[in-house]
Amino acid sequence: MAHFEQPDFINDDPISLCHAFTDRRDQEVIGLYAATLAWGSRAIMLAKLEDLCTRMQFRPWSFVAGFNPLRDGVQLSTFVHRTFQPEDCIEFTHNLSLLINQFGSVENIFGGQPSDPDTGKAIERFSARMMTVRPDTLPRLQKHLARPSRKSACKRLSLYLRWMVRSGPVDLGLWHSISPRQLVLPLDIHSGRQARPLGLLNRKTNDWKAALELTEACRKLDRNDPARYDFALFGLGAYGNPFTDS
């Protein structure tokens, strides 16, 4: 893990957007967008995130907290990243704005509890609140808000929580309502392909049950910080085993 969990990892990763800001409120807001859009070509994704920051005048917290769709929606009216269309961006920002003003921070919207065995309830809570804060929220926003109850692996929201909760040279460690021991590993097709041959995952479907199975296997290796193994699984998939000769 230490081989991959290095500051150099930041440069080509979407978490680099968080590190570009010094205000923790900016970091948690832009981090949520970065994780939500974390798919596809990394170069294109990072360019899109830079474009989004420009549209927000490099003040993501202020832009979102003060967002008025009639006044500010035009700034997002042409933003597209794959299936994240302008109407999704406006809906996401409008609802997030209302919740930030209601709860005070993105951390409080998730509302993590020390008694929770993992982050499933926090993710469920966040996605539900994003969909219900306005009665006229477009149903299409749901596809960008994963929930364990819908059998999603919730990879992007689990990734976001790793960024916010863990400390280290890569992750930010901004939040304290959720502890590293509660984190669930971000599971997708790539990490699943690495985990199964290693005997860390038997379930064939990449869903929430599989994410919990993988996390429990990693918890046996480090009960207080299972998500640290995400770096190794990602690194093996992206770069191969650095300790074997080619």
Q: What's residue 192's pLDDT?
A: 95
What distance in Å separates the CA atoms of residue 35 and residue 155, rounded to the nearest whole number? 9
Q: Across-strand partners of 81?
A: 84
**Nearest one of 172, 200, 198, 173 to 185, comparing CA atoms:** 200
Q: Which residues of the chain have pLDDT under 70?
A: 1-6, 8-9, 235-246
CA-to-CA separations, 184 to 105, 119, 149, 210, in angstroms, rounded: 22, 7, 15, 10
Q: Are 171 and 146 in contact (CB under 8 A)?
A: no
Q: Where are the domains of the chain?
A: 7-239
- Residues of the chain with pLDDT > 90, as a percent, come to 86
207 and 142 in contact (C-beta within 8 Å)? no
pLDDT at 238: 55
Task: Tell me how far apart the alpha carbons of residues 51 and 54 are, in angstroms, rounded to a whole number.
Answer: 5
Q: Which helix (H) or strand (E) holds 71?
A: helix 69-76
The whole-number pLDDT of residue 234 equals: 78
Residue 140 confidence (pLDDT):
96
The mean pLDDT value of the chain amounts to 93
pTM: 0.93
CA distance 166 to 150: 26
